[in-house]
């Protein structure tokens, strides 16, 4: 069954939303784990302290979820725009850090976040222009033009 452009659009939207959610959870979990692991030391007591908090395990689970989500998306999405969208995590982590860790929102951070989002939008528009309606890529191809899963 062929995928319609609308179905692919939903697949990309929700897939990248899940990917950004995993990325965000991983970074926030590392922040919480790091807060409990200070001061860093080169000994077993520090390693036990790090792995004694559930945040590190949430980060590992997040990385596993991130990996499988990314592999699924890469089977269908062009690598350039796909990689660009992963940088939305910078914006989401910044926003959650303001809320959870009381980090300041400076003009430089706000402008940087807007530039990231603008760059992703530009890449998405360029990619949609590269594939006329109904001609969107549905499966990633390898170096020899063979489907990546073959």
Listed by start position, the domains of the chain span 5-130
Q: What is the pLDDT of residue 130?
A: 60
Instruction: For residue range 56-79, list pLDDT tens digits in order.
Output: 999 999 999 999 999 999 988 888
Q: What is the mean pLDDT of residues 104-128?
A: 88
- State the burial class of residue 8 (Cβ atoms within 10 Å of its Cβ: 0-12, 13-18, 19+): middle
Between the ranges 8-17, 75-84, 91-100, where is the mean pLDDT highest?
A: 91-100
Q: What distance in Å separates the CA atoms of residue 52 and residue 54, rounded to the nearest whole number?
A: 7
Q: What is the pLDDT of residue 146?
A: 46
75 to 82, 131, 137: CA distances (angstroms): 11, 17, 10
On the question of pLDDT at 34 being above 60, the answer is: yes
Report the length, in residues, of the chain. 150
Contact 19, 69 (CB under 8 A): yes
């Amino acid at each position: 069954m062929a995928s319609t452009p609308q179905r692919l659009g939903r697949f990309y939207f929700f897939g990248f939303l899940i990917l950004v959610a995993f990325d965000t959870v991983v970074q926030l979990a590392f922040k919480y784990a790091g807060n409990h692991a200070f001061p860093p030391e080169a000994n077993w007591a520090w390693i036990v302290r790090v792995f004694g908090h559930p945040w590190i395990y949430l980060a590992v689970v997040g990385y596993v979820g991130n990996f499988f989500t990314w592999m699924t998306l890469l089977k269908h999405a062009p690598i350039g725009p796909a990689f660009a969208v992963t940088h939305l995590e910078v914006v989401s982590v910044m926003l959650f850090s303001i809320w959870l860790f009381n980090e300041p929102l400076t003009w430089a951070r706000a402008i940087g976040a807007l530039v990231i989002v603008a760059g992703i939008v530009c890449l998405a528009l360029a990619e949609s222009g590269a594939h006329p309606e109904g001609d969107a890529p549905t499966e990633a191809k390898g170096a020899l033009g063979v489907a990546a899963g073959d």
